[in-house]
Amino acid sequence: MNEALTLVLAWLAGGVLGAIFFGGLWWTVRKGMSSKQPALWFLGSLLLRMTMVLAGFYLTAGGHWERLLVCALGFALARPVVTRLTRPAQASKTAREASHAPQS
């Protein structure tokens, strides 16, 4: 396979791994905060997410440090994407200003 294509696929794999990791973290926080035993949610999620990501890095790299580096870059770039997608909807600026107006 072409080396450039291999690096692009490694970058995409890193992005998918990052989306799984950070999306799973977001989901865990939402579930864990309303759970009676949040420690189990957080610990179980951490172990599952770390296992998946480390196995994904290992399989993607295939013994090549270049692939590992590009995969890690894709992983890191997934964080702001997931953060933006999971951000709660904000009220418009006008609505926020109006809510601070004195009540009559």
Q: pLDDT tens digit string along 28-40?
A: 999 999 999 999 9
Q: What are the C-alpha distances in Å from 42 to residues 47, 51, 64, 79?
A: 9, 14, 32, 18
How confident is residue 90, by pLDDT bands cut at 50, 70 and 90? confident
Four-residue CA torsion sign, 57, 58, 62, 64: positive
**Confidence check: pLDDT of 96 > 90:** no
- Rounded to two decimals, the pTM is 0.80
The Cα–Cα gap between 9 and 40 comes to: 34
Q: 31 vs 104, which has greater pLDDT?
A: 31
The mean pLDDT value of the chain amounts to 89
